[in-house]
Structure 1
Amino acid sequence: MDSAAPRVYFVYETVPFINEVAMDADVLVVGAGPVGLALAIALRQHGVSVRVIDRAPGPATTSRANFVHARGSEVLDRLDALSGLPEESVRAMTITTYAGERPVMRIRFGDPGLDTAAPPMVISQARVEARLRDRLAELGVRPEWGCGLVAAEQDAGGVTAVLSDGRSLRAGWLAGCDGSGSTVRKLAGIGFPGVKLSERFLLVDATLDTTLDRSGTSGWVHPQGMLGAMPMPGGQWRLLAYDPAFTEDKPGEERIVERMARILPERTGLSGIRLLDASWASLFRVHRRLADAYRRGRVLLAGDAAHVHAPFGGQGMLTGIGDAENLAWKLALVVQGRAGERLLDTYEAERRPLATQVLRGSTATTKVNIASGPVGRFLRDRVIVRVMNVAWVQRRVTYTTSQLWVSYRRGPLGGGGRRPRPGDRVPDLACERPDGTSTRLHAELRGRWAVLGGHDAFQAAHRRLGGHVVHLRPVRTLPAMLVRPDAHLACKGGPAEITGWLDGALA
């Protein structure tokens, strides 16, 4: 946290001269992690000007997150930021759980048959961030490092932000993507209720002397706490251990590595396994929190600034970049004067319920993994393990953790009728452009809407959305559809239906 005490002032009355104040950017994004970078890229794809600041001196080279599910890969692909990551990642999609040396459960992750645009990946968040920075640079923006936010003044026409280096920036909107300790959230006065639990986990990236199979992740249930080993690019392993017996308050990396080296053979039951060299180590406790609101006037929150939860299931970065994509197209329409500010209220209405579900799911998964009492261990080792070995249950787990199931049909922009319903995810369909060349739906989105149908339907959308809509013809017969930039269905039907939906949604 910056040394200067944060302060904020909100002025909602009309200020006659405010439109004469020069804007440094349409949107100021605070936080250059994956969520802030994704938001900035998506806004630039829509033609919105952005500035990105971060109080850190430079990019992170290590990270806790190291798995990108299929939904996350889809978002990266629509940001045109996926290039090179699948080839660099480890294709370790199997999780095998052991009790000692005996395998008791094996789960296979992957594409659950929903026409995904890109594969799930085992790859460090730091590498994902690097690719996002490269993509943002291609769009003419680079993060400004060493620039913390210390104050913000909001009025009817925008936000004036004071930075830690004494400069002031003027932007139309302020987006807080600055993590669980978000300065933006605190300045906006948005509550962040929840708990910080006593669950303590050790995390170590290291090379191992082992014969473990690198084609998948291995985990061990043990009375003293679970331990997992995931293969990482470069021949390293990511080691994670629940270790309530390790009670040192603020241990250094050397002590964490020493502890991990000692418990590794004990909990795996593998006498020949040894930790050789560690590149990074950390100790963390689980937080479970959800922001009271995702918007306060011209201030918006995304990612860990809005929700934090246990790391099990790899849902953190996935949910955060989904927030960014959902917010970007809505904010872009408001900035460009194509939609009223009411559209921004649908961001919280669509994304906060998902965060609530993710928080509940990750909490339940954590309880199962760290169960230490006799009843909890019995349920995990004798009941849950057997259930999880059933094929359809494994498919359901893959489907759930991928977030490909996410739908906004019950939200303010959703609707009923036959599937796909408004708000549902539209698969990555094979399509043709008007000139007959082949393409795929998700590749054509990238900051644009798509009309799948006749020319009249396209013209109806074009009149309201301008050049931010493309006309495609699906290879297989489908009803005419208007698809949102985040690959969710806006509406089905011809010109009248599309015009009616746009008039209502963008009012």
Structure 2
Amino acid sequence: MESDVLIVGAGPVGLALACALSQHGVSVRVVDKAAGPATTSRANFVHARGSEVLDRLDALGTLPEEAVRAMTITTYAGDRPMMRIKFGDPGLDTAAPPMVISQARVEAQLRERLAELGTQPEWNAALVSADQDASGVSAVLGDGRTVRAGWLVGCDGTGSTVRKLAGIGFPGVKVSERFLLVDARLDTTLGRSGTSGWVHPDGMLGAMPMPGDQWRLLAYDAAFPDDERGEERIVERMRRILPERTGLTDIELLDATWASLFRVHRRLADTYRQGRILLAGDAAHVHAPFGGQGMLTGLGDAENLAWKLALVIQGRSGERLLDTYEAERRPLATQVLRGSTAATRINIAAGPVGRLLRDRVLMPVFSIPRLQRWATYTASQLWVSYRRGPLGSRGRRPTAGDRIPDLACKRHDGTRSRLHAELRGRWAVLGDPDAFAAARHRLGDDVVLLHPEDEPLPAMLVRPDAHLACKGGPAELAHWLDGTLV
């Protein structure tokens, strides 16, 4: 084999998967049909769980310092404030609070981390065909090269070539909800401490501060014609509707660095795996951008898949473990799709009944602090648990499948650390040296023994993605490993 895993797509999901697999000692190759790295992107928000994933990949770098802390959303009708939501860290232990930062910068940080791990993405390398057999996958690239790998993972977006070659269905709809997106400098008195949004009969418009004195403008515009997709026409349209929909006379779009017109897709793959071919990120699920859930969900896919695929490649588990990837992640994608669809419908409500419900009922309700904390917690995905999945269990929390916070811990030699920092490509046993010995017997050297600094906890085995595998002594831990890694 030329590599253990061939990853198609050098976006955030493909790069995160490559970093995670490399941390586990798995050889990877990353190819992408693009000529080079993207410099623009629609995604521009990393929620708290996304920060955690990047931290466990040792790929946060300088992103927290670069990010804009615009953690409020103020909604207006003209110049009248209707609702103000505080949208930030929900108060749980996280590696970093949510970040307003371009996906392109996240990708750059991931590429830097992947280079440290010994791999560079290969550009101008489109996937043409892929044939799998009992021992691996033979893939042909656009330049005629044949690449042999044990496994193929499609992280190549909505139009995934990998998904199509695998014959995996992608049911759903491409709807008529049409949005204009422009990154630009503004001449405005708007504060940069938060996002501003305006409801308007012709469609919502939002302005979010971005790093580098930039603003991101997003507008629903059902009337914009498809034959005027050029950037200049999009910027011209945004320049005209900006004062119309905001009602502001002191706002002007100066110069734009990027503009795009897009429609919303709502699709979910029939399956995440076909033999030795797997899907992650937008190749498996795609939905409306409201709530910033796309990149976040894809990063979670990558981390969940990585440790499972690594165990199979290392011969420590049978392939049945890979079935738990879809079982744990697809229900979340279904839930995210429903939530983002509902958020889109609320934001673009055009009829009188829909606007009345949004403006007179929902907005006042979401002004309640408790509801705001709930909304932030929901969007953060820190609540995600796999307790209902095949590796989960019911019982007193935390139970198998639950996320374990970033606990302050001590290593066995007494030095201080934190749980999530120790997980980078490893498992952790909390509190019990005998359970640690049992884990090493089955998992090898990729296990660390930690002692929580605060109140004593039952002995726990924590997965590399910070979810609880099992709790109990060495017998319970050995039983879980023997039953899972078959």
Query: Does TM, normalized by the shorter one, top 0.5?
Result: yes
Query: Partners of 1:181 and 1:250 in 2: how far apart?
Result: 23
Amino acid in the other structure paired with 2:367: N
The alpha carbon displacement at 1:116 in A equals: 1.3
SS in 2 for 1:485: coil
Q: What amino acid is the match of 1:492? A: K
CA shift for structure 1 position 245: 1.7
Q: Quick check: 104-113 or 325-334, which moved more?
A: 104-113
CA distance in 1, matches of 2:96, 2:254: 34
Unaligned runs of 5+ in 1: 1-22
1:470 equivalent in structure 2: 448
Q: Deviations over 1:394-429 (max 9, x none)?
A: 000000000000000000000012100100000000
Whether 1:411 aligns to 2:361 is no
**Counterpart residue number, 2:52:** 74
- Output the aligned Cα RMSD: 0.6
Cα drift, residue 250 of structure 1: 4.4
The one-letter code sitting in structure 1 at the alignment partner of 2:304 is N
> Displacement, 1:83?
1.2
- Which consecutive residues of structure 2, in runs of 5 or more, have no partner in the other structure? none
- 1:369 and 1:178 map into 2 onto residues whose CA distance is 29
Whole-Å separation in 2 of the counterparts to 1:209 and 1:159: 54
**1:33 aligned partner:** 11
Q: Work out which of the residue numbers 193, 212, 219 in structure 1 matches 2:190.
A: 212
Question: 1:485 deviation in Å?
Answer: 0.2
> Match for 1:499: what amino acid?
A
Q: Which residue of 2 aligns with 1:485?
A: 464
TM-score by length of 1: 0.95
Corresponding position of 1:19? none
Deviation readout 1:366-418 (Å, 9 max, x if unpaired): 00000000000000011001000001100000000000000000000000121
Distance 1:430 1:251 in 2: 51
Q: How does 1:41-190 map to 2 (within 5 A)?
A: 41-190=19-168
Determine if contact 2:228/2:234 at 8 Å carries over to the other structure: no
Q: Which residue of 2 aligns with 1:373?
A: 351
Of 361, 381, 389, the residue aligned with 2:367 is 389
Q: Does residue 198 of structure 1 match 2:176?
A: yes
- Of 107-116 and 359-368, deviating more is 107-116
Amino acid at match of 1:231: P
Structure 2 equivalent of residue 243 of structure 1: 221
Q: For residue 206 of structure 1, what is the amino acid of its counterpart?
A: A
- Find 2:285's aligned residue among 307, 322, 343: 307
Q: Give the Cα separation in 1 of the matches to 2:317 and 2:228.
A: 50
Instruction: Return the offset for 1:453.
Output: 1.5
2:326 to 322, 330, 348: 348
Partners of 1:158 and 1:410 in 2: CA distance:
32
In the alignment, which residue of structure 2 is the partner of 1:12? none
| Match in the other structure for 1:501 | 480
Match of 1:229 among 207, 220, 235: 207
Q: Distance in 1 between matches of 2:372 and 2:355?
A: 21
Distance 2:125 2:406 in 1: 39
CA distance in 1, matches of 2:369, 2:86: 9
> Whole-Å Cα distance in 1 between the matches of residues 432 and 178 of structure 2?
57
CA displacement at 1:112 relative to structure 2: 1.2
**2-structure distance, mates of 1:360, 1:200:** 19
Alpha-carbon shift at residue 321 of structure 1 (Å): 0.6
Partners of 2:8 and 2:203 in 1: CA distance: 37
CA distance in 2, matches of 1:435, 1:118: 27
Once residues 378 and 132 of structure 1 are traced to their aligned partners in structure 2, the CA distance between those partners, rounded to angstroms, is 44
How many residues align structurally?
485
Q: Which amino acid aligns with 1:31?
A: G
2:316 matches 1:326: no
Q: Deviations over 1:108-162 (max 9, x none)?
A: 1222122112211000000000000000000000000000000111000000000
How far apart are the structure 2 equivalents of 1:153 and 1:285? 33
> For residues 249 and 295 of structure 1, what CA distance do their matches in structure 2 show?
38
Hey, what does 1:295 align to over in structure 2?
A: 273
